[in-house]
Amino acid sequence: MTHSIFDAFPTLETPRLRLRRIVPGDATAWLKVWTNPDVMRYLAGFEVDQATIKDMNGLVSWADGIYLQETGLRWAITLKPDDTLVGSCGFHLYSAANRCAEIGYELNRDYWRQGIMAEAVTTMLRFGFGPMNLHRIEANVTEGNEASAGLLRHLGFTHEGSWREKEYLRGRWHDLWQFGLLEDEFTLL
């Protein structure tokens, strides 16, 4: 029998972070992330002033569902030794046949500019190009989100182009910047 990354939800660790399965008890902490206007500025989803615990419970179910359907993995980002969610990151649109997936992430505003997301995404990339056996990892960034684009460039991603008016966000159309990273381009240890 072949071992699958979906046999048991993988927990990933660094010296200061734990990336673990998102559970129903994370809904309140995740709501804090999703109701900050700075965090949501470039993210499609709920209007900041309208997100509810019920919405977050729906996101928890979505994260569990993509894992159970083997189409993605979404981790809670937590700082050790505390186990409280401060953000999330993960793979979605996973295709084993094409050996590719798309990544996404968000982080509580209180934890920006501390290298947390770079550490979390680097850990994800190691997992993606390692146990997941991916050949290509993609990311779409809403136009203007220079922080996210800068993170991806720092991690070796190439800006490959734009999806014109791909996303309707807060009353207007936005382009999405397409980034890609191939397994032989990934050089971080």
Residue 92's pLDDT is what?
Answer: 95
Pairwise CA distance, residues 142 & 42, whole Å:
6
- Please, what are the averages of pLDDT over each run of 10 residues along the chain (189 residues)? 79 97 95 87 69 88 95 97 95 96 96 96 97 97 94 97 90 92 85
Residue 170's pLDDT is what?
Answer: 79
Tokens of 15: 């010296």
Residue 49's pLDDT is what?
Answer: 63
Residue 124's pLDDT is what?
Answer: 97
Pairwise CA distance, residues 177 & 181, whole Å:
14
Which residue, among 78, 54, 74, has the nearest Cα to 64 in the 3D structure? 74
Residue 188's pLDDT is what?
Answer: 63
Could you tell me the CA-to-CA distances from 114 to 31, 34, 169 in Å, in that order?
Answer: 21, 19, 28
Residue 46's pLDDT is what?
Answer: 56
Q: pTM above the 0.85 mark?
A: yes
Q: CA neighbours within 13 Å on the CB side: how many for 160?
A: 13
Which residue, among 175, 140, 134, has the nearest Cα to 157 in the 3D structure? 140
Residue 45's pLDDT is what?
Answer: 62
> Does an H or E element contain 34, and which?
helix 27-34
